[in-house]
Amino acid sequence: MNPIIAANWKMNMNINEGLSLVNNILDSSPSKKSQVIFFPPSITLNAISDRLKNTRYEVGVQNIHHEESGAFTGEISAQMIKSLDVQYAIIGHSERRQFFHETDYQINKKIHNALSANLFPILCIGETLEERESGETSKVLKKQLSSALKDVDSDVKGLIVAYEPVWAIGTGITANSNQVNEAHGFINETTSKLLENPVPILYGGSANADNAAELFQIKNVDGFLIGGASLKSESFCQIIKNIT
Ligand code: PGA
């Protein structure tokens, strides 16, 4: 399987900055082997998606609402996103769980909405530092997985999971090889029990050009979900080059 490299721009990059970033990445053409997906803010999604039409790069949305439509001012549904040329949706990012109080119930509804709109979900899971230090990492990951995937058909296709330890996101502290190996092994074992098709597992949390190659050697690491290091074409292209 080719590595999957997802660029989560979060609330960064206005339209000019976003277009200039993808133009620079297209110019430096870092690899033909990796599957690269950009997640711009939803207001620029259409323009970035247009720019990437007929290229090998794909786009996705950072979040969708958990209902299909209705009186939810300011929100965007899976169906609306699918009406653009967009294939993926990040669901359950820890910043959404933490700052917008997203619940397991809503995350499960988002997964169902994404799948019924034919969007491929990238389900984010991960433990806090407190949970890791109290030895609860596996318990937390298992609960996040089983609640997010509740009533999802066991033969679901296209689902991706991102393991993102909360304490590693945007902190410059990356999980070490043992921690990544253990968590990805556990996620692989758990998803294999729940689902029939293999689920790619991305690592996220201060992944960068210096650590990506080493982390990519670890079993069950199928790629990365990258925040900070995806905002500059040099660092992002370097990550792609280093792992392909
Ligand atoms: P980071 O963010 O690479 O800046 O740690 C990763 C993410 O939040 O997806």
What percent of the chain has pLDDT above 70?
100
Distance 97 CA to ligand 1 centre (A): 14
Active site residue 93: yes
Q: Which of 226, 236, 238 to mutate to test the pocket of ligand 1 (most atoms within 8 A of CB)?
A: 226
Is 112 catalytic? The answer is no
pLDDT of residue 85: 83
Q: What pLDDT, in 10s, does the model give residues 42-79?
A: 999 999 999 999 999 999 999 999 999 999 999 999 99
Are 149 and 195 a contacting pair, CB within 8 Å?
yes
Atom of ligand 1 nearest to the CA of 225: 9
Q: Which residues contact 115 (CB under 8 A, 6 or more apart)?
A: 121, 152, 156, 159
Q: Which residues line ligand 1 (CB under 6 A)?
A: 8, 164, 169-170, 204-207, 225-229
Residue pLDDT, tens place only, 196-243: 999 999 999 999 999 999 999 999 999 999 999 999 999 999 999 999
Query: What span, in angstroms and rounded, lies between the C-alpha atoms of 89 and 120?
Result: 6
Q: What is the mean pLDDT of residues 136-143?
A: 98
Please, what is the average pLDDT of the chain?
Answer: 96
Active-site pick, 58, 102, 127, 164: 164
- Assign 152 a pLDDT band (cuts: 50, 70, 90): very high
- Could you give the dihedral angle defined by the CA atoms of residues 177, 181, 183 and 189, in that order, rounded to the nearest 10 degrees? 170
The pLDDT value recorded for residue 36 is 97
**Which of 95, 122, 202, 206 to probe ligand 1 with, by most ligand atoms within 8 A of CB?**
206
Strands 160-163 and 120-125, bridge-based pairing: parallel
Atom of ligand 1 nearest to the CA of 229: 3
Amino acid 13: pLDDT: 98
Q: Which is catalytic among the residues 93, 102, 112, 184?
A: 93
Pairing of strands 58-61, 35-39: parallel
